[in-house]
Amino acid sequence: MVKYYKLQAGRIVATEKHEAQVTMLISPDHDEINSLIKIGGLDEHTVSSAFDVEELARLEYEDDYTAIIFKKPKSYNAEDQFMFRISSFGVFVYADKIIILSDAVLPLVDEKRFFRITSLNMLVLKLLNYSSYHFGEHLRIISRVNDELEAKLISSVDNKYLLYMFGLCKSMVYYLDAISSNQTVLRKLQNSRNLIFTEPEKDLLDDICIETAQCLQQTENLSNILSSMMDARASIVSNNLNSMMKTLTVLTIGIMVPTFVVSSFSMNLKYPLYMESDWAFWIVMSLVVLVTIGFLFIHKRNKW
């Protein structure tokens, strides 16, 4: 899918192809990629990197354009089982146009995130800022999910929530790599000679660098918390299971004691206390009650 945009009164608006200053290709097929490589003069490897989740963020200078491969968090899917994944997008900056490659639609027409855009370079910085903002939002969600899972683990004996925690820990590793590589690209942009930024654009770039550094620090802190607490959480699940087995064992013994008494007197044998009177039933039941009370007393005294 291809979308076309242009700058108008400090905003990004949809337009026709012949007026487009910004071209966005969302999950292009093979023919669209080949056409882009042929018409735009793009490098095939760089285009592929825009959709490669394992590719690190990077900055490349070509004769006609500057290529920026940047990382962003992938939209969460319920089927991911609390695994937050990473995706990439590519921004190819020409003198008079921008080509964006992404696996999902980037909200360029969102006036909350993309406003006061005075140039194509400003749009590029807004895109990079949106990625950092998106990472921050996901980190806040992960933190809340972690708190909820911890609350469930307190009384859980199932490994399901523990596996979800493992998924969050693994996600933090991916986030650390992605945000760290993004930070490297931003530092290179600060010293870029091919992209000339105005003073307001430089200020925005400095703000993005600061926000990315804070995001990286937050990711490291959250990753350390998740990793350091995994053993403790696994022990909680194991202790909960042991407590449940202990309770079941005590209940089993509690049921077996009176059952043994009743079963003994119901055998077709003559016992020393063999009784044929009408009080036999009540005598046996009294013994059951006394044995049960005795078991409960021992249970309470020993704090089983």
User: pTM of the prediction?
Assistant: 0.75
Contacts of 125 (CB under 8 A, 6+ apart): 197, 201, 204, 205, 208
Contacts of 163 (CB under 8 A, 6+ apart): 81
H/E element, 167: helix 160-190
Q: Return the higher-pLDDT residue of 91 and 166.
A: 91
Q: Return the higher-pLDDT residue of 106 and 298.
A: 106
List the Cα angle 58/59/61 in 5-degree steps.
145
Average pLDDT over residues 24-47: 81
Q: Return the higher-pLDDT residue of 213 and 40.
A: 213
At 212, the pLDDT band (50, 70, 90 cuts) reads very high
Q: pLDDT tens for residues 216-257?
A: 999 998 888 887 776 666 666 666 677 777 777 777 877 777
Do residues 216 and 180 touch, judged by C-beta distance below 8 A?
yes
Provide the 10 A C-beta neighbour count for residue 215. Answer: 22
Contacts of 49 (CB under 8 A, 6+ apart): 55, 58, 69, 88, 90
Which residue carries 């590519």 as its tokens? Answer: 90
At 294, the pLDDT band (50, 70, 90 cuts) reads confident
Q: Which of 166, 168, 162, 177 is nearest to 144 (CA)?
A: 168
pLDDT reported for residue 181: 92
Ordered domains of the chain (ranges, CATH): 2-240 (3.30.460.20), 243-302 (no CATH)
Q: pLDDT tens for residues 61-100?
A: 888 888 899 999 888 776 677 788 888 889 998 888 898 8
At 304, the pLDDT band (50, 70, 90 cuts) reads low
pLDDT reported for residue 240: 66
Contacts of 108 (CB under 8 A, 6+ apart): 5, 12, 22, 24, 114, 123
Q: How far apart are CA 25 and CA 40, in angstroms?
A: 13
At 9, the pLDDT band (50, 70, 90 cuts) reads confident
At 184, the pLDDT band (50, 70, 90 cuts) reads very high
Let me know if 30 is exposed, middle or buried by CB neighbors in 10 A (0-12, 13-18, 19+): exposed
pLDDT reported for residue 28: 82
Report CA torsion sign: 121, 123, 129, 135.
Answer: negative
